[in-house]
C-alpha cells in the first residue's frame, strides 16, 4: 500500500436550488498519493472546483456535502474524516490553511485589497504556528524569496493591486505554502496568466513541490498543463469521474469516449494536419434533466442500448487505469 | 506577390493619453499600438498573437475604425467605394456615410458572446439588423428566408429565430455572433478572440465552423488570439506582437519551424504540450512584460531577452525582411547571428 494523503470515497455534494437538486459531484472516489500531483480535468460546470471546496469544507448554502468520506492523514499519521468535523469548528480551521491550503484562479479577488501582501502572509503564519511577529515576518520574507519575488523586503509592504498578475499568483503560492501544507489544492492557478508567465509559475510549482514535500491536487481545463504537471489524472464529466489513470496511460491510451473527444478537440501544435478537428457533438446537457443511464450518452459517438438504461460504474481496464464506460465492461 | 491585397495597414499607431490631476493634464502616453504595418491577402487568415496588453485588440478595432488611430493609414480594397487610379481606399479619410457603406464589407466577431449580443433582441432580429440597416433586403419574406439560411449555415435551426440570447449556451451564442457577421457577406472579418471564452470541446466546433465558412464565402480573417495552438491551426500567416509592436511576421510553418525572434522562440517553447512523453527545452522568460506607458529603450524586449547586447538597449530595431522569398519579417538586431533552437 502506498501512502495516501487523502482518501475520498463516494463523495456527493448537491446544490439545493429552486429549480431542483443539482448534483455538482455525484459519487466520486479517489486518492492522492504522498508527494504526487493529481490532476483533475474537465469542462466548466463538471464539478472540478466543487471537489476542491468540498475537501476544504467550504461548501456554503444552498450546497451541501450529502454523503461520503474524506479521510485525511495528518502529520502524526492520525486519520481523520473531514466530513465528520463541523466546518466552522476549531479543528477544521486549524487544518484549513495549515495542513491543506489552496491557490485560487484569480489572485486579485482571492487576496484582501486593503492589507499588504506581507500582512496577509504573516497573519497565516502567526495564526497557525503561534510565532511572534518578527519571526513570522522573517519567514514571510524567506518564502517570498523562495517563490522568486524580487526584493521581498520591499514587496511585503506593498498591496496586491500594485503587483502584476504573475507576482500576485506567486504571492498567493507563498501564502499557501507558508505553513508547509501536506496537501495543496490548486484551482486553475495559471488560467488567468499569459503563456510565458504560466510557464514560470508551473516551473516554480514543480520546484517547490520537491522542496516542501507537498501533494498537489491540480485542477485545470488545459490538458497541456495536466501533461506537464501531473502524475495521475482524473477526467470529470457532469459530476462523475469518467476516467482515472496515470498521466502516461491517459495520454497514450485514453479509453472513455469523452476523454478521446477532449484530446481530439485540441489543435495540435506539432502536426500540420489541415483536416477539420474531430469534435464532440452537441453541448453539455442541462444538469437538471439528467436522464437514466450514462451522462455522456447524448454526445457519445459509440452510444449503445445499455448506455440509455444503466449507469456505468468505474471499472478497471488495466493496472491503475479505470474508466466508466460499457465499451470496456 | 500573386495574391491580391485586401487590407494594407501602414505605420498604424494608437497612443492613449494618461491624464492626471485636477486639470486632467496629459502626463504621458500608453503606446498601445506603436508603428504597426501588415497586409492581409484575399481569402487568407492572418493570425495576430501576443500576450495581454500587447495591442492585439486595439489593432483589430482600429481596422474597423471603432477606435480612431493616432497616426497611420489603413488601405482597404473595397468593391463599394472606389477612388480614381487606385485599387484601395484609405478608411481613415472616408466621410461617415462612406465609412458606413464600407463597413458592410468588414465585420467583427467579439470575444465575449455574453456581452456582445443585446439581451432584449431575439436571434432573428439580431441577425437581421445588419441586413435592415444597410437596406439589403426589403421584403419580409426574403428576410426571413435569409435569416434561416444564415442560421443553418452556422449550425443552428429555424426554431431558434424567436428565442433570446440567454436561452443559448456560450458556443451557440458565438454561432449567433458569427451568423450576424457573415450576414452581409463581408470580405474581411476581424475575429477578436472568438474562441477563448469557450470550453475545448465547443471551441473545436467553432473553429471548424469558421474554417468552413471561410472556404465557402472566401472571407479573409484577421484572427486575434493568445492561444498559439489555435492560431497555428487556423492561420496561413502569423504576426507576433509584443508591447505594441510586431516582432515577427511570416507564414505559420516558417514561424514554428524557423522562428527568428527570441520572443517567438520563448512563446512557442512555453506552450504546454498535451503529451507527457514530450520533453523539450523550455525557455522560461524572466520577469514581466514592461508597462506600455514607459517601455524600455531600444528593443522593447531587451529586458527579458537572454541574447541582448548593447545595440539592443540603444536603438530600436525595425521590421525587416530576412529571406529571399520576401515573406519573413523580423524586428531584431541580432536575427542574422542568432541560432535559435526549437
Model confidence at A113: pLDDT above 70: yes
Which domains are assigned to chain B? 5-242 (3.40.50.300), 256-342 (no CATH)
More confident residue, A119 or A286: A119
> In the prediction, which pLDDT does A110 show?
87
Closest chain B residue to A253, measured at CA: B275
The string of pLDDT tens digits covering residues B174-200 is: 999 999 999 999 999 999 999 888 888
3-state secondary structure of A197: helix
| Adjacent-strand bridge partners of B10 | B73
CA distance B134 to chain A (A): 34
Model confidence at B244: pLDDT above 70: yes
Q: Which of A17-31, A95-109, A163-177, B267-281 has the lowest mean pLDDT?
A: B267-281
> In the prediction, which pLDDT does B2 show?
55
B57 is written with which cell numbers?
Answer: 485588440
Inform me whether the C-beta atom of residue A231 falls under 8 Å from chain B C-beta atoms. no
Inform me whether the C-beta atom of residue B52 falls under 8 Å from chain A C-beta atoms. yes
Average pLDDT over residues A63-69: 92
B13: number of Cβ within 10 Å? 17
The string of pLDDT tens digits covering residues B104-138 is: 999 999 988 888 999 999 999 999 999 999 988 88
> In the prediction, which pLDDT does B1 show?
45
> In the prediction, which pLDDT does B183 show?
92
Q: What are phi and psi of A48, to 5 degrees?
A: -60, -55
CA distance B52 to chain A (A): 7
The string of pLDDT tens digits covering residues A246-263 is: 999 999 999 999 999 999
CA distance A258 to chain B (A): 9
Average pLDDT over residues B143-152: 92
Taking an 8 Å cut-off on Cβ atoms, the answer to whether A228 and B272 are in contact is: yes
Inform me whether the C-beta atom of residue B81 falls under 8 Å from chain A C-beta atoms. no
> In the prediction, which pLDDT does B280 show?
67
Inform me whether the C-beta atom of residue B200 falls under 8 Å from chain A C-beta atoms. yes
CA distance A18 to chain B (A): 18
Size of interface A-B (CB pairs under 8 A): 119
Inform me whether the C-beta atom of residue A227 falls under 8 Å from chain B C-beta atoms. yes
At residue B287 the predicted structure's pLDDT band, cuts being 50, 70 and 90, is confident
At residue B3 the predicted structure's pLDDT band, cuts being 50, 70 and 90, is confident
Average pLDDT over residues A52-69: 91
Cβ(B259)–Cβ(B251) below 8 Å = no
Average pLDDT of the residues of chain A? 89
Q: How far apart are CA B29 and CA A141, in angstroms?
A: 35
What share of chain B has pLDDT > 70, as a percent?
98
At residue B324 the predicted structure's pLDDT band, cuts being 50, 70 and 90, is confident
3-state secondary structure of A91: helix
Model confidence at B311: pLDDT above 70: yes
Average pLDDT over residues A84-107: 90
Q: How far apart are CA A44 and CA A254, in angstroms?
A: 21
Model confidence at B235: pLDDT above 60: yes
Q: How many residues does chain A have?
A: 329
Nearest to B208 among A228, A247, A276 (CB): A276
Average pLDDT of the residues of chain B? 89
Q: Give the ranges where chain A is alpha helix by DSSP (H).
A: 48-55, 90-95, 107-110, 117-129, 133-146, 152-155, 165-177, 195-212, 223-229, 247-252, 257-265, 305-309
Taking an 8 Å cut-off on Cβ atoms, the answer to whether B199 and A267 are in contact is: no
> In the prediction, which pLDDT does B342 show?
56
> In the prediction, which pLDDT does A6 show?
93
Rounded to two decimals, the pTM is: 0.86
Burial class of residue A291 (count of CB atoms within 10 Å of its CB; 0-12, 13-18, 19+): exposed
Model confidence at A1: pLDDT above 50: no
* A45 dihedral zone (left: phi>0; alpha: psi -120 to 50; beta): left
Q: HEC string of chain B?
A: CCCCEEEEEEEEEEEEEEEECCCCEEEEEEEEEEEEEEEEECCCEEEEECCCCCCHHHHHHHHCCCCCCCEEEEEECCCCCCECCECCEEHHHCCHHHHHHHHHHEEEECCCCCCCCCCCCCHHHHHHHHHHHCCCCCCHHHHHHHHHHHHHHCCCCHHHCCCCHHHCCHHHHHHHHHHHHHCCCCCEEEEECCCCCCCHHHHHHHHHHHHHHHHHHCCEEEEEECCHHHHHHHCCEEEEEECCEEEEEEEHHHHHHCCCCHHHHHHHHCCCCCCCCCCCCCCCCCCCCCCCCCCCCCCCCCCCCCCCCHHHHHCCCCCEECCCCCCCEECCCCCCCCCCCC
Q: Cβ contacts (< 8 Å) between B276 and chain A: which residues? A: 227-228, 247-248, 251
> In the prediction, which pLDDT does A319 show?
85
With both helix axes pointing from N to C terminus, report the angle between A165-177 and A133-146 in degrees, rounded to the nearest 10. Answer: 130
The string of pLDDT tens digits covering residues B42-91 is: 999 999 998 888 889 999 999 999 999 999 999 999 888 877 777 788 98
Instruction: Report the Cα A200 to chain-centroid distance in Å.
Output: 19
A60: number of Cβ within 10 Å? 8
> Which of B 233-252 lie inside 8 A of A, CB atoms?
233-234
> Which of B 289-318 lie inside 8 A of A, CB atoms?
289
What share of chain B has pLDDT > 90, as a percent?
51
Average pLDDT over residues B289-315: 89
Model confidence at B331: pLDDT above 70: yes
Amino acid at each position: 500500500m502506498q501512502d495516501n494523503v487523502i482518501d475520498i470515497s463516494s463523495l456527493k455534494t448537491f446544490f439545493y436550488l429552486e429549480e431542483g437538486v443539482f448534483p455538482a459531484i455525484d459519487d466520486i472516489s479517489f486518492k492522492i498519493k504522498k508527494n504526487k500531483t493529481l490532476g483533475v480535468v474537465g469542462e466548466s460546470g463538471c464539478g472540478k472546483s466543487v471537489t476542491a471546496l468540498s475537501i476544504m469544507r467550504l461548501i456554503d448554502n444552498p450546497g451541501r456535502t450529502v454523503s461520503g468520506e474524506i479521510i485525511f492523514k495528518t502529520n502524526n499519521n492520525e486519520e481523520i474524516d473531514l466530513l465528520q468535523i463541523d466546518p466552522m469548528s476549531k479543528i477544521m480551521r486549524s487544518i484549513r490553511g495549515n495542513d491543506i491550503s489552496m491557490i485560487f484562479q484569480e489572485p486579485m479577488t482571492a487576496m484582501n485589497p486593503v492589507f499588504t501582501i506581507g500582512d496577509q502572509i504573516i497573519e497565516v503564519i502567526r495564526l497557525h504556528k503561534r510565532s511572534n511577529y518578527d519571526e513570522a515576518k522573517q519567514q514571510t520574507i524567506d518564502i517570498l524569496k523562495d517563490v522568486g519575488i524580487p526584493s521581498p523586503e520591499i514587496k511585503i509592504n506593498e498591496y496586491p493591486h500594485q503587483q502584476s498578475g504573475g507576482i500576485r499568483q506567486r504571492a498567493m503560492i507563498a501564502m499557501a505554502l507558508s505553513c508547509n501544507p501536506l496537501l495543496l489544492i490548486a484551482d486553475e492557478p495559471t488560467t488567468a496568466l499569459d503563456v510565458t508567465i504560466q510557464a514560470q509559475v508551473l516551473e516554480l510549482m514543480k520546484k517547490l513541490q520537491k522542496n516542501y514535500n507537498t501533494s498537489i491536487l491540480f485542477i485545470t481545463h488545459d490538458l497541456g498543463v495536466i501533461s506537464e504537471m501531473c502524475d495521475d489524472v482524473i477526467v470529470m464529466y457532469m459530476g462523475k469521474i469518467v476516467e482515472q489513470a496515470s498521466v502516461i496511460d491517459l495520454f497514450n491510451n485514453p479509453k472513455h469516449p469523452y476523454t478521446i473527444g477532449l484530446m481530439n478537440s485540441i489543435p495540435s501544435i506539432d502536426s500540420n494536419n489541415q483536416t477539420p478537428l474531430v469534435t464532440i457533438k452537441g453541448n453539455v446537457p442541462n444538469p437538471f434533466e439528467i436522464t437514466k443511464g450514462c451522462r455522456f450518452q447524448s454526445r457519445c459517438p459509440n452510444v449503445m442500448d445499455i448506455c440509455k438504461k444503466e449507469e456505468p460504474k468505474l471499472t478497471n481496464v488495466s493496472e491503475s487505469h479505470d474508466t466508466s464506460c460499457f465499451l470496456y465492461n | 506577390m500573386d495574391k491580391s491585397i485586401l487590407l494594407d495597414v501602414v505605420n498604424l499607431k494608437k497612443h492613449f493619453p494618461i491624464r492626471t490631476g485636477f486639470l486632467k493634464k496629459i502626463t504621458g502616453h500608453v503606446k498601445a499600438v506603436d508603428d504597426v504595418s501588415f497586409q492581409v491577402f484575399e481569402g487568407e487568415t492572418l493570425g495576430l498573437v501576443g500576450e495581454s496588453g500587447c495591442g492585439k485588440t486595439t489593432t483589430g478595432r482600429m481596422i474597423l475604425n471603432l477606435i480612431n488611430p493616432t497616426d497611420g493609414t489603413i488601405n482597404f480594397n473595397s468593391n463599394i467605394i472606389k477612388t480614381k487610379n487606385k485599387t484601395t481606399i484609405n478608411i481613415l479619410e472616408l466621410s461617415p456615410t462612406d465609412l458606413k457603406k464600407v463597413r458592410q464589407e468588414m465585420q467583427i466577431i467579439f470575444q465575449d458572446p455574453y456581452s456582445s449580443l443585446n439581451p432584449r433582441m431575439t436571434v432573428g432580429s439580431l441577425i437581421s439588423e445588419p441586413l435592415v440597416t444597410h437596406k439589403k433586403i426589403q421584403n419580409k419574406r426574403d428576410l426571413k428566408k435569409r435569416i434561416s439560411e444564415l442560421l443553418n449555415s452556422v449550425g443552428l435551426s429555424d426554431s431558434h429565430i424567436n428565442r433570446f440570447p440567454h436561452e443559448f449556451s456560450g458556443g451557440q451564442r458565438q454561432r449567433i455572433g458569427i451568423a450576424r457577421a457573415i450576414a452581409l457577406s463581408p470580405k474581411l472579418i476581424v475575429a477578436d478572440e472568438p474562441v477563448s471564452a469557450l470550453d475545448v470541446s465547443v471551441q473545436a466546433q467553432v473553429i471548424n465552423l469558421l474554417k468552413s465558412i471561410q472556404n465557402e464565402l472566401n472571407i479573409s480573417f484577421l484572427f486575434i488570439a493568445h492561444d498559439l495552438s489555435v492560431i497555428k491551426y487556423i492561420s496561413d500567416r502569423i504576426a507576433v506582437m509584443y508591447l505594441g509592436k510586431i516582432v515577427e511576421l511570416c507564414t505559420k510553418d516558417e514561424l514554428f519551424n524557423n522562428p527568428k525572434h527570441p520572443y517567438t522562440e520563448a512563446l512557442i517553447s512555453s506552450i504546454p504540450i498535451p503529451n507527457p512523453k514530450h520533453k523539450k527545452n523550455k525557455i522560461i522568460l524572466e520577469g514581466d512584460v514592461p508597462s506600455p506607458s514607459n517601455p524600455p529603450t531600444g528593443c522593447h524586449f531587451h529586458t527579458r531577452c537572454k541574447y541582448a547586447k548593447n545595440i539592443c538597449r540603444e536603438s530600436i530595431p525595425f521590421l525587416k525582411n530576412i529571406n529571399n522569398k520576401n515573406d519573413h519579417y523580423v524586428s531584431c538586431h541580432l536575427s542574422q547571428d542568432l541560432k535559435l533552437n526549437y
